[in-house]
Amino acid sequence: MTIKIDKKIKSYQVVKPEDKPAPSAQTAPEQAKEVPTAEVIQMHESLERPEALVGSTFKIKSPLFEHALYVTINDIVLNAGTPYEQRRPFEIFINSKNMDHFQWIVALTRILSAVFRKGGDVTFIVEELKAVFDPRGGYFKSGGVYMPSIVAEIGAVIEQHMKNIGLIHDPEMSDVQRALMAEKRAAYEQAAQKRMELSASSPTDADINDSAGFPPGAMLCVKCSTKALVLMDGCQTCLNCGYSKCG
């Protein structure tokens, strides 16, 4: 930078670096002020496994397997005791007496555990697993929910665990919607009961056996995969999740 001197030079002096005045707080407030930062621990690959982990175990009873599957998902607690405390899935184990599918079960658990420890958004695993279909066909588990494969039910278990730890938030129906669904369900059951009384034929096994607790003759809902879709007011409506083809 060039400085033009208009006056006559009377004297001069060499200024050393230590002679320069320190910047004051008024001239440079941004440099003097330090912004405090919180040491938040995020999920990453280099995070070492603690000696003890918290977790949950789920039981899967499928008609495709002779013995039940036990799925254990362990979580690591990050920033324990701070406002930033959170639980993240860290590893998964699947155990069963059935050894026919031992290889792919071990491979699946190791891959899923590696994805969990990678960090980031791991919720995509749920949709990927639930989209796996068995070429032999699916089955209905307890509650009337359709599962296209055993892998899809493992994905449903992981989804439920992520909901329990707050990693996935399931939008709930309001009290008004729940009251409306209960009213429509009662009306549908009353109308179905009258039709059965007027009918001379005996009810079928499909009408009698209803483990899901929904009205007999309910169809499969495309949104929640539950046999709870009934025809009400000229529109197909699900009594489980509130889905309606009419919007």
pLDDT per residue, tens digit, the chain (247 aa), is: 677 777 877 777 777 776 666 655 555 555 545 555 557 777 777 788 889 999 999 999 988 888 899 999 999 999 888 888 889 999 999 998 887 888 999 999 999 999 999 988 999 999 999 999 988 888 888 777 889 999 999 999 999 999 999 888 876 666 777 777 777 777 767 776 776 676 655 444 444 344 456 776 777 787 777 877 777 767 777 877 777 777 6
How many domains in the chain?
2
Residue 71 located in a structural domain: yes
- Position 208 scores a pLDDT of 39
- Count CB atoms within 10 A of the CB of residue 76: 22
- Count CB atoms within 10 A of the CB of residue 161: 23
Q: Name the pairing type of β-strands 139-140 and 146-147.
A: antiparallel
- Residues 58 and 156 reside in one and the same domain: yes
User: Among residues 110, 143, 164, which one ends one of the domains?
Assistant: 164
User: Among residues 164, 190, 218, which one ends one of the domains?
Assistant: 164
Residue 75 located in a structural domain: yes
Please tell me the number of Cα atoms within 13 Å of 75 on its side-chain side. 21
- Residues 185 and 231 reside in one and the same domain: yes
- Residues 146 and 200 reside in one and the same domain: no
- Residues 157 and 211 reside in one and the same domain: no
- Position 34 scores a pLDDT of 58
Q: Which domain holds residue 193?
A: 175-238
